[in-house]
């Protein structure tokens, strides 16, 4: 069975916890080896962030549970990578 190696999710989160604390807590999910969070948009009430998580066999439900437990909401799953390794994206002629 193929395993989930990378997942990129679009998340809406409250200002608290801070992005540092939020990312640290998501990183504590047992199946995650590394995680990064980027701020996409900021308004008075919430932050829209992109979370990229990598691991040798990510348990997506545990990631989503961590986000929910911190007051966040997953808006979309924007990228996934399954298999023995993560394929690096490369430009193709269709990318112009």
**Is residue 20 a part of any domain in this protein?**
yes
Tell me the pLDDT tens digit for each residue of 7-56.
Answer: 999 999 999 999 999 999 999 999 999 999 999 999 999 999 999 999 99
DSSP code string of the chain: ---EEEEEEEEEEESSS-HHHHHHHHHTSTT-SEEEEEEEEE-SSEEEEEEEEE-SS--HHHHHHHHHHTT-EEEEEEEEEESSSPPPP---GGG-
Number of domains in the chain: 1
Tell me the pLDDT tens digit for each residue of 44-55.
Answer: 999 999 999 999
What pLDDT shows up at residue 13?
A: 97
**Is residue 92 a part of any domain in this protein?**
no
The CATH number covering residue 45 comes to: 3.30.70.1340
**Is residue 14 a part of any domain in this protein?**
yes
What pLDDT shows up at residue 92?
A: 77
Tell me the pLDDT tens digit for each residue of 57-83.
Answer: 999 999 999 999 999 999 999 999 999
pLDDT at 96 over 80: no
Range of the domain at 20: 4-85
**Is residue 91 a part of any domain in this protein?**
no
Inter-residue contact 79 to 7 (CB < 8 Å): yes
């Amino acid at each position: 069975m193929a395993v989930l190696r990378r997942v990129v999710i679009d998340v809406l989160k409250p200002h608290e916890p801070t992005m540092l604390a939020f990312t640290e807590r998501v990183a504590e999910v047992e199946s995650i080896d590394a995680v990064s969070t980027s701020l996409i948009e900021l308004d008075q009430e919430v932050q829209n962030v992109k979370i990229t998580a990598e691991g040798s066999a990510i348990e997506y439900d545990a990631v989503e549970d961590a986000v929910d437990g911190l007051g966040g909401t997953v808006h979309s799953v924007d990228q996934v990578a399954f298999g023995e390794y993560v394929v690096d994206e490369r430009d193709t002629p269709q990318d112009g």
